[in-house]
Amino acid sequence: MQAYQRIVPKEITQLVRNGSRLLCVELAGFTFPTKKDHGESRIGKDVSKIFTALNPEWWKKHLEKGFLRKAGADGFLTEPGQIVAMDLAAAKSFHTANRVFSKGRELSLNKKAAVQTKDRNRLVKELQKKVGLCKAGWAVAASQCRADVRQPMRGIPQWVTRNMGKAVAAVKENRMTGMSFRIDLTNRINYTDKLLSNKYRTIAQAIARGKFYKMMSKAIRSTKVKEAGFK
């Protein structure tokens, strides 16, 4: 870092900002889902873990008689005292309070909410539009790193950046003594730790660190080549 400032010569501060942007890109890449269709598929599975979807015929036939333990024509079994989500708004509210992120975790049958199939499908479609929201938190952070690059979103796909307006992040710069210049990156989506494990966070940091050193080395070599009169 000292050689970079002496030879290039530029302040290391800007390179750290550029490196922070790279870290945001790597963190976005390792945050679940890695692919759009994987996230969309996961949403359908997670919704089925907290809802019992009932067809219109069952709904009309049995709801008027009280919510008793019966096997409907669609094969779903219902339980006494089970919650009934009467419309899409109620289904959204139940989903917000009972989201499932851990693999294998599922509500027991009597804890699931019964919802009409049409409302369940509409809920899934709306949620699928938010696929990549947590990754978009890192995209927002990347845009705030003050990197001097032409395309700060390079490396982050469009299905992620489309959710940047709904995501929140924080970037804080801290200048200390000597070469110490620290940038703290925070993804403020509250379930980030559910979709980005410590293992993959560490891997992302290692990759970004390697790219940071390569940027320094490339800039130093390029400057030396020019000083020597080569193109």
Q: Which of 65, 69, 27 is nearest to 205 (CA)?
A: 27
What is the DSSP secondary structure assignment for residue 85, as one 8-state letter? Answer: E
| pLDDT band of 153, cuts 50, 70, 90 | very high
pLDDT at 55: 63
CA distance 194 to 172: 23
pLDDT at 204: 97
The domain locations on the chain are 2-33+132-227, 37-128
pLDDT at 67: 46
pLDDT at 73: 40
The CA distances from residue 91 to 112, 116, 126, 131, 133, in Å, are 11, 9, 12, 19, 20
**Is the pLDDT assigned to residue 8 strictly greater than 90?**
no
| pLDDT band of 100, cuts 50, 70, 90 | confident
| Top-confidence range, 62-76, 166-180, 208-222 | 208-222
What is the pLDDT averaged over residues 174-188?
85
**Is the pLDDT assigned to residue 110 strictly greater than 80?**
no
Supply φ then ψ for residue 81, to 5 degrees.
Answer: 80, 5
